[in-house]
Structure 1
Amino acid sequence: MLKRPVRGQKKRKEVHKKLKPSNMACGSSEKSSPDWFDALAKKIASNLDSRPSKGLDSFKCVFKMSRRTFEYICSLAREHMAVKTHFAFSNGKPMSLYDQVALALNRLSSGRSLVSIGDAFGTSQSTVSQVTWRFVEAIEMNGHQHIRWPSTENELMDIKSQFEQIQGLPNCCGAIDTTHIVILLSTSKRRTDVWLDSKENYSMPLQAIVGPNLKFLDIFSGLPGMLNESSLLPYSSFYDKCQKGERLNGKKIKLSQQAELQEYVVGDSAYPLLPWLLTPYQGNDLSQTKVDFNKHHLATRVVAQRALARLKDVWKMIDGVVCRPDKHKLPSFIFVCCILHNIVIDMEDEVLEELPLYHCHDPGYGQDFCDSADVTASVSRDNLALYLSERNHP
């Protein structure tokens, strides 16, 4: 199952329903209250031996989001999760929507086993599995609009402006990077090496194009780990659209009287150099102009590294090793974790100020190199490097 870029208008829905108190001891009512939030967070933190981080209350520490964002996510999941199946705690008390969403979010964010989550919530591992999958279906269906390529010129201009403020790269529309979701396959399923990557891990790569605010603009996953960055790229619809001139086809800017620069994204040396994908110069014997370009380039594309590192740090189910996953469902779990990452940003959640920024999202994986270089792209990169040099050293 391949995840394709999604189009649609971003909607920030607020949940304005008045919440009523509930008894958390054996589950909650369909509506909730501040007491419910606190009791739930403390209960989970106690059972999972989780301690509040500095600056975060127990709820934000457990769920990595504010209560306002939690309620918005509940509004996205409500309709789908209310259909057909009714879940209950081990004592027979029915689970409310809030209970189910809390369980699913904790499963995705903690990365704990089904048994551990079940013990924390007072339910079976089977219920944990079913509730989590029902939640993933709901968010995949009703939250996909939070991951989309900018649909208006003003949105794209804003992204370009923010990128240029980072390190001066003009007309840049995104940063691309790939991370590996490492998986542990059962012995009976290890019949092929197609899932083995360059580090001899079974994995599923996730390719992401990231905006200056660490928001995912486009993601692609679902293929086996044998594909590195350069070989994975052509399978994505992002590549297909760019090659056909359907994306990154906006207004060119003048770097000089003779040179123009089209819209592009930046990526590391593992990617091919293309007119719409600018990579750094390779080699040790580089001119000062090229060295300076590489510094600007690295400082710009670091947003993709930070976004993927935060994704894995917050949504730990896809960090570390995913134990015996259903490879047909795993892309949906990855997709939903990316949606949730974006929702926290779209909601301008105050928890963002407390989340750390890391760069490393693929520990143990070294830098790959791709020698493929388009001639036109090489000229564009040279022109941009010269432009930056002249501007910084007039």
Structure 2
Amino acid sequence: MDLLALTVAYNDNDLLSDDDELIVQYLETPFFSRRVYNGSDLYSTLRDDEFLKRFRLSKRSATFLLDKIIHNFPNTFNRNAVSPMNQLLCTLRYYATGSQLTACGDVIGAHESTACRILHRVTHAIASLYSEFIKMPVTVDEQNNVVAKFYDIAKFPRCIGAIDCTHIKILSPGGDYAEIYRNRKGYFSINTQCICSANLLFLDVVARWHGSVHDANIWDNCAQKRNFVQGVYNEKLLVGDSGYSQTRYMMTPLPENTPSTRGEKLYQESQIRTRNVIERTFGIWKRRFPILSKGINVKLRRVPGIIVATAVLHNIAILQKDSEPPTDEDIPHIHDIPIAIPTNSRTLSRSIAGNIERTLLINEYFARL
């Protein structure tokens, strides 16, 4: 009796304890002798809107993605192998629901163990596209294009990206160091730093820090900060919340109740409206792939790959002009409230220099608008 027959028997309540011999017989069958049920052709049978609702990518985007990663699928000519498209759909279904792998395997008629291997293989293949779809603008033309789109939002000058961190919920990793993954809100998470563009594309994603780490510490230890310090981006600026130190390349909001002059008020309004794109990006990203809010229930070492893979998929969906996912009240949007940054001599000196840069920007630009 094969796996499909066993499943039907279980569903009909025909297979009880007196049929345990059938289960043992199946489990003792060599793996490569078992029948792999390929399931229905969901890509062809579902309407476009049904496909988008279930897998969070349009058929056009799914085909585009499959062409990019098709070389990662072995045994495509084996009649018992799960087709590349079904492997992709199994993975997308996991991202779209955050359910158990058993349920995701049922979508394509595969066993849980098969679904697990498919998930990790496809996730790795998608995450490997990071450098192609998630990248900071390097050339002058690319930078000017990004700056122009940010300027159209609220007339903030020289802005090349909006930065913030968000917590991605995970299972407790266990062990002696599990508590370092517990964030200030009480649950286990990966604190993920992202930079986005005005059209909600991810430009940079850092998904390797445990939940108790402060946003500013992640920024201080990432490669993009070194690029800004070294002037790679030609004096362009980032906008961030008050959780980051004010520097010559990081523009943060003025303290509350501080704006008094016309220039300061215009700066504050422009900075907040421009920075809002990163909040919108997080909201769409987590609505498109609810697993990011509900919690990633795989081993810790697999989590960063899933975070990066969903970020790549988010960019592909925007580039392919997929519609935004509908608002789901059952999926909470986790808003991270910035907290005070520990002050030392180095951060104080950087903050003083940054305050001078911000004052010059206010007096020489915003005060003249």
SS for the counterpart of 1:123 is coil
Equivalent of 1:270, from 243, 251, 256? 243
TM-aligned CA distance change 1:179 to 1:362, over 3 Å: farther
Change (3 A) 1:168 1:141: same
Residue from 342, 364, 368 that aligns with 2:339: 368
- Residue 292 of structure 2 corresponds to 318
Q: Secondary structure at the match of 2:180?
A: coil
Deviation at 1:111, TM superposition (A): 1.4
Task: Note if 1:338 corresponds to 2:324.
Answer: no
Rg larger in structure: 2
Counterpart position of 2:137: 150
Stretches of structure 1 lacking an aligned partner (at least 5 in a row): 1-24, 43-55, 251-261
Deviation per residue, 1:335-391 (Å, 9 max, x gap): 1111111111222x2424x65699x98526433233645323212211222345433
Counterpart position of 1:27: 39
2:199 to 206, 213, 216: 213
More helix by share: 2
Residue of structure 1 equivalent to 2:190: 204
* Residue number among 24, 34, 37 corresponding to 2:43 in the alignment: 37
| CA shift in 2, pair 1:285/1:137, >3 Å | closer
Q: Which residue of 1 aligns with 2:65?
A: 73
Task: Classify the secondary structure of the residue corresponding to 1:384.
Answer: helix
Deviating beyond 4 angstroms after TM superposition, the runs of 4 or more aligned structure 1 residues are 83-86, 354-358
Q: Which residue of 2 aligns with 1:391?
A: 368
The 8 Å contact of residues 205 and 223 in structure 1, kept in 2 or not, is answered as: yes
Code of the aligned partner of 1:383:
L
Aligned ranges for residues 99-110 of structure 1 at < 5 Å?
99-110=86-97
Quick check: 1:180–1:362 contact (8 Å CA) kept in 2? Answer: no
Indicate which of 147, 160, 165 corresponds to 2:147.
160
Structure 2 unaligned runs (5+)?
1-36
Q: SS of the residue aligned with 2:200?
A: coil
Contact 2:58 2:322 in 1 (8 A): yes
Alignment TM-score, normalising by the size of structure 2: 0.80
What are the superposed Cα offsets for residues 131-150 of structure 1, whole Å, 9 maximum, x if unpaired? 01110111122453101111
Are the aligned partners of 1:309 and 1:361 in contact in 2 as well (CA < 8 Å)? no
- Distance change (3 Å), C-alpha of 1:184 and 1:26: closer
| Mapped contact 1:38–1:58 kept (Cα < 8 A) | no
Give how far 1:286 is off: 3.1
2:211 aligns with: 225
How many pairs were matched up?
325
Q: For the structure 1 residues 142 and 329, does the alpha-carbon distance in structure 2 shift closer, same or farther, using more than 3 Å as the test?
A: same
Look up the SS of the partner of 1:184 in the other structure.
Answer: coil
Q: 1:367 to 1:290 in 2, by over 3 A?
A: same
Cα deviation code 1:154-211 (max 9, x no counterpart): 111000011111101111100001000121216x536542112222221111101100
Post-superposition offset of 1:315: 1.4
Instruction: Letter of the 1:391 partner, please give it.
Output: R
Q: Give the structure-1-normalised TM-score.
A: 0.75
Aligned counterparts of 1:322 and 1:282: Cα–Cα separation in 2: 36
Change (3 A) 1:189 1:285: same
Distance 1:134 1:365, change over 3 A: same
| Residue 114 (structure 1) aligned with residue 88 (structure 2) | no
Please provide the CA RMSD for this pair: 2.7
Task: State the AA in 2 paired with 1:281.
Answer: L
> In the aligned structure 1, how far is the partner of 2:326 from the partner of 2:74?
32
Change (3 A) 1:355 1:132: same
Distance 2:127 2:287 in 1: 21
Q: Aligned in 2, Cα 1:365/1:172: closer, same or farther, shift over 3 Å?
A: closer
* 1:146–1:342 CA contact under 8 A, matched in 2: yes
